[in-house]
A and B are shown apart, each in its own frame.
Chain A
Amino acid sequence: QVQLVESGGGVVQPGRSLRLSCAASGLTFSRHAVHWVRQAPGKGLEWVAAISNDGSNKYYADADSVKGRFTISRDNSKNTAYLQMSNLRAEDTAVYYCAREVSGGCDPWGQGTLVTVSS
């Protein structure tokens, strides 16, 4: 079955960087766009970024949130997508999910990886 597994989360100090990974299995990875969505503790879902199936197109949430600090990428030879996060802020603390795009929605989602930005 299709499975996505995130990794790379942890505790990081403000201003530092972190790279999340999303490893996919059970699908032809190169056929699908991938999205990152985050959820701050006790809050709703926030779309972060997306990358097209071949990596040629990348999309980000707006400037005030992540644009300019986060970079999405993928390596289809490794069936893996990445989210490079720099200059992290306390408000970036969240569970980060990756998901496959299918039929215009996100399915399935990974189990999520927790990023905590704290000194």
Chain B
Amino acid sequence: DIQMTQSPSSLSASVGDRVTVTCRASQSISSYLNWYQQKPGKAPNLLIYAASSLQSGVPSRFSGSGSGTDFTLTISSLQPEDFATYYCQQSYRTPWTFGQGTKVEIK
């Protein structure tokens, strides 16, 4: 299985901060990398697909980059509604696998 490792596991940030979450795959996955946001008690929501494509309806402050094994999710200016847990997921090969999650908390 392809292992996905996110860092950090959690972070504290303030409204307006630029936030970066990284995801590393155990082998090359080309650009088959997705990012999800999950709020407590809710289902995940797709933010970014194919490493850098913004899902329809997702604010432009979210962006993704990377290819191969190293990927980044960036929130350019953190908003109150962005406090949540973020997961990366590879769809290069089954079984699809998720990172362990990054919890973004209020500083």
A interface residue numbers (CB < 8 A to B): 35, 37, 44-47, 50, 59-62, 97, 103-112
B interface residue numbers (CB < 8 A to A): 1, 32, 34, 36, 38, 43-46, 49-50, 53, 55, 87, 89, 91, 94-101
In the docked arrangement, what's the CA distance between A110 and B100, Å?
A: 21
Is A50 a contact partner of B94 (Cβ separation < 8 A)? yes
Is A104 a contact partner of B34 (Cβ separation < 8 A)? yes
Is A103 a contact partner of B53 (Cβ separation < 8 A)? yes
Could you list 7 A-B pairs, sorted by A, with CB under 8 Å?
A35-B96, A45-B38, A59-B95, A104-B34, A105-B46, A109-B45, A110-B43
Instruction: Say whether chain B's binding surface is mostly helix, strand, loop, or mixed.
Output: loop
Instruction: Say whether chain A's binding surface is mostly helix, strand, loop, or mixed.
Output: strand
Is B1 a contact partner of A62 (Cβ separation < 8 A)? yes
Is A104 a contact partner of B49 (Cβ separation < 8 A)? yes
Residue among A45, A47, A62, A109 with most chain B CB within 10 A: A45
| B34 partner residues in chain A, CB cutoff 8 A | 104-106
CB distance from B70 to the nearest CB of A (A): 18
| B91 partner residues in chain A, CB cutoff 8 A | 104-105
Is A47 a contact partner of B97 (Cβ separation < 8 A)? yes
Is A97 a contact partner of B94 (Cβ separation < 8 A)? no
In the docked arrangement, what's the CA distance between A45 and B44, Å?
A: 9
- Known contacts A109-B43, A110-B43; is A104 also within 8 Å of B94 by CB? no
